[in-house]
Structure 1
């Protein structure tokens, strides 16, 4: 669980400055502008205020620093600003020195500049935040607690926000346990601060200590029982531990207690969806929209729930209403296209997908159109649409490559797909999705060495990649007699996803190949019950047949072949067993 995933963290002004070059500083090739503070050139402003008060040596230092900054010589600029700041009581100079020191990650100079800054301007919140951040980065617990205490004293109203910012800024550095310890010391010093316990709860969750996280959020709520952020976090804890029943109880209680706070109802609807209680979730969204006809987010969510319930007509009405709202038009058009796709109205679906002109759904609409045409074996039209995508969506090139390879695959142009992926892997070496796709095609072509090498490359980088584990285990079981190796991979995959139908199928097939028909039937039946796709049907039917349960196998096959008369897996079973049996 991540702090940033639980609650958005606002950026500090000073952190933005640290993430980029000091403002108005450019490389020698770029246009040169003066380094500015408070939107005015520093040196010129000081000269205007008192042309005779600035010591010539200080003026020279500032001019040198400014020119150095413009040339990207930040170490020289830092020395100039810091030395000038020591001679002139102007916090702006010290601030500039601190910003540059942070940017070039000079910890000693940063501490020196911030210390001087606080002496010159003790109540400056940005200086105090940087001091706290520096202490935390340096692992100085005592100094961090002192700076955070001073921050609380100087800005009690903004303390919560500051804590979020600082914790969020440090999270990626892997210092979460240390930050938690600092917060623990801070909570001892300031036991009445709910925000400190709240941050501790987030940090404990990040450390995957669920019990501690729950205790800390409860401490925060004892101090501020009506704090909606803490109440929502408490429910989120239950969701992350997959205790949806508890999350639902908490949110229903909160929603009743605070009827005007819509956050609880919206999260309740999400939890109900997680629990597959779609009807109840729909009722919550409907109530939200009825109470606020401008709550288009809830209206859109209601449309998605209706779609999930196969109430396509109701969903269609909702999405068509949303077409009147410009900010929801693209999302609504996309799902109207999906509804037409479900109805097998290809041209109508394409018309809706083509109306998605911007936003995150634009690419999805484009690739769904390609897939829809390919499904109808209109490969020429699919290719025409696919050709324009790389220029429109350059960041999506790897995914476009996968779609192109799949088009070749669907046309049984395996050699072409293999060579295409091999070429693209030169542009994207080690890209796991491309390696996985080529491995599957190599398997079809009988290139077992390539298949195994590609999957091993994936597992070397991502040893818990379930798809690669399953593919490698299944291929070894199906195409070789290396059953012990296959079992190692498949058991690993099962530990990660014990209820995944395709993995259950693979393991069942392995057990069949090993001669353990009883165990094979158990796994294959479980796989079929979860996902009755044709390959699983063919596997289950074969094991039933060789186990002497021919009537069951035949019924299973006949039920599936009616829906998919051209399926290769089913036809292979028919040729292997049924035709042979009928010829006797």
Structure 2
């Protein structure tokens, strides 16, 4: 009995899921308490041996020292030895914390075998299998979870959607959701889940049909109405607008639908009609801080900054729950309307939350713009960073301030120091590569971008930057073309990558193809650097007046752009357009 009680206490202290019995009262001898504890915990019949105790101590010591692999191995071994579900749960939790999905799956599989009625165990194994892309293996677990939630099956399907959204195989996800939905055709949430899965799988007609079935079962469901409008919008803006308008005639107090309708009207440049919807929202929800803030954001999309400012201030007066967010948005409006001092004051009023650091970075940036470069850098360096990501963001913000003064060596040094602390941080690698380019440190540029591509093979900007650097230097042009084609495959609508593709074709002598992509890039974004490239190709072709017109327009927007000025100087021997 003494050994078994020690085993109980070890499990209770070391296992996150161990629970002491509710009745802690002991009789005079204490003997009946031990018996009650053992009975209530329903432990497997396993005596505490020296080997088990040793594995406990090794596992827990390893855990305390951060040696997670050793801890995982010991707890998995203990689970096999003792057949105790609490140890299986402990092994699963440690594996998840260590980011070891293979060990987590192994431990969770034992957990559900040992505790088949545990909802936590089944949820864990299902989530793990989905994240590992093993949808067929997850299917029976998901079926049982849904079957156990008969009264809440709608909510369960909404949560299931969030879980399955992580799986990249959209077609397989849709098949799984359709299969799981079969017994629950009377639930609007089930049709909603199928619709979303169909949408992500590019089955747009099925997505529309399922969302309409959801609305037929629950006509006043605003969330479904908003999503139905978004589905229609991808097919026909007119049809989406008609749907929103008709829906609002039936359910006029559907604020979320009205907000979505106003946003659609803004996107379709029907600004007067959008203003009518915004005014309706303001009139009918005069004391609702959330609707007031939403109308301010809509007004900002139209450039109606007076309405935006008054709405934000009113939201504050009405006690909007996240005042930090409102002050941040106000700071953005003050910047947009060229009131930097008021913007700085607003950013300083952001005291906490997710917008605290972005607000302080904007404050420092405005401080530097006013000429207080040293003070801005000192301010950034004084800000607390809660994690590596925040540390990197502060370094990048300081680098951006320095870059505007063209202090490229200081930028390079700052980013190099940052990479000494965070050697694999993608944004730092990318920014240092750009700084190295300015200093002619092309070996560093290539090393950083190659490393970034290894770390983030789906990052189009890394391929584009490396390919563009090769093209600009007339080096490895076939490789440059290959890199930029990879970039544009990852981000086909990016005008800067289109510009790079046009530029490398031009460098390779394919002027017609180069001109085609440069025109596409400039039409999408008339940026000064794109203008410099397009103008150069036109100039070489003999269309000098067209080139001058493009350069002239670009200079009006950015008279100090280095690439544009260098192009003018090189081709026309001047830095201005007559």
Question: How would you bin the TM-score normalised by the shorter chain?
Answer: 0.7 to 0.9
Q: Which residue of structure 1 lines up, in the alignment, with residue 3 of structure 2?
A: none
Higher relative contact order (CA 8 A, sep 6+): 1
Given that 2:505 and 2:511 are in contact with CA atoms closer than 8 Å, whether structure 1 keeps it comes out as yes
Alpha carbons of 1:54 and 1:237: their partners in 2 closer, same or farther (altered >3 Å)?
farther
Alpha carbons of 1:178 and 1:339: their partners in 2 closer, same or farther (altered >3 Å)?
closer
Alpha carbons of 1:472 and 1:128: their partners in 2 closer, same or farther (altered >3 Å)?
closer
Q: Say whether 1:151 aligns with 2:158.
A: no
Q: Say whether 1:315 aligns with 2:308.
A: yes
Alpha carbons of 1:58 and 1:554: their partners in 2 closer, same or farther (altered >3 Å)?
closer
Deviation by residue 1:245-274 (Cα, 9 ceiling, x = unmatched): 544343333222222332322332344455
Alignment of 1:464-483 (within 5 A): 464-483=458-477
Deviation by residue 1:284-314 (Cα, 9 ceiling, x = unmatched): 2332221111332332233233333333333
CA distance in 1 between counterparts of 2:324 and 2:212 reads 42
Q: Could you tell me the TM-score, scaled by structure 1's length?
A: 0.73
Alignment of 1:524-535 (within 5 A): 524-535=518-529
Q: Is there any run of 5+ residues in structure 2 with no aligned partner, and where?
A: 1-8, 61-73, 95-106
CA distance in 2 between counterparts of 1:311 and 1:329 reads 21
SS at 1:337's partner residue? Answer: helix
CA distance in 2 between counterparts of 1:371 and 1:247 reads 41
Alignment of 1:403-482 (within 5 A): 403-482=397-476
Alpha carbons of 1:78 and 1:254: their partners in 2 closer, same or farther (altered >3 Å)?
farther
Aligned-pair distance for 1:479? 0.9
Moved more, 246-255 or 471-480: 246-255
Q: Which residue of structure 1 lines up, in the alignment, with residue 287 of structure 2?
A: 294
Q: Is there any run of 5+ residues in structure 1 with no aligned partner, and where?
A: 1-21, 84-93, 116-126
CA distance in 2 between counterparts of 1:191 and 1:569 reads 61
Given that 1:65 and 1:78 are in contact with CA atoms closer than 8 Å, whether structure 2 keeps it comes out as no
Aligned-pair distance for 1:534? 2.5
CA distance in 1 between counterparts of 2:138 and 2:553 reads 69
Q: Which residue of structure 2 lines up, in the alignment, with residue 255 of structure 1?
A: 248
Number of residue pairs matched by the alignment: 527
Aligned-pair distance for 1:431? 1.7
CA distance in 2 between counterparts of 1:511 and 1:190 reads 56
Q: Which residue of structure 1 lines up, in the alignment, with residue 24 of structure 2?
A: 44
Alpha carbons of 1:186 and 1:342: their partners in 2 closer, same or farther (altered >3 Å)?
closer
Given that 1:288 and 1:295 are in contact with CA atoms closer than 8 Å, whether structure 2 keeps it comes out as no
CA distance in 2 between counterparts of 1:34 and 1:45 reads 22
Q: Which residue of structure 2 lines up, in the alignment, with residue 550 of structure 1?
A: 544
Given that 1:436 and 1:454 are in contact with CA atoms closer than 8 Å, whether structure 2 keeps it comes out as yes
Given that 1:35 and 1:42 are in contact with CA atoms closer than 8 Å, whether structure 2 keeps it comes out as no
Q: Could you tell me the TM-score, scaled by structure 2's length?
A: 0.74
Q: Which residue of structure 2 lines up, in the alignment, with residue 541 of structure 1?
A: 535
Q: Which residue of structure 1 lines up, in the alignment, with residue 116 of structure 2?
A: 114
1:337 aligned to 326, 331, 346, which one? 331
Deviation by residue 1:225-253 (Cα, 9 ceiling, x = unmatched): 554444444334446x5755544343333
Deviation by residue 1:293-337 (Cα, 9 ceiling, x = unmatched): 133233223323333333333333333333423535433333333
Given that 1:322 and 1:328 are in contact with CA atoms closer than 8 Å, whether structure 2 keeps it comes out as no
Moved more, 257-266 or 319-328: 319-328
Given that 1:82 and 1:113 are in contact with CA atoms closer than 8 Å, whether structure 2 keeps it comes out as no
Given that 1:473 and 1:485 are in contact with CA atoms closer than 8 Å, whether structure 2 keeps it comes out as yes
Deviation by residue 1:514-565 (Cα, 9 ceiling, x = unmatched): 3444444444344334333322333333333333333343444444445544
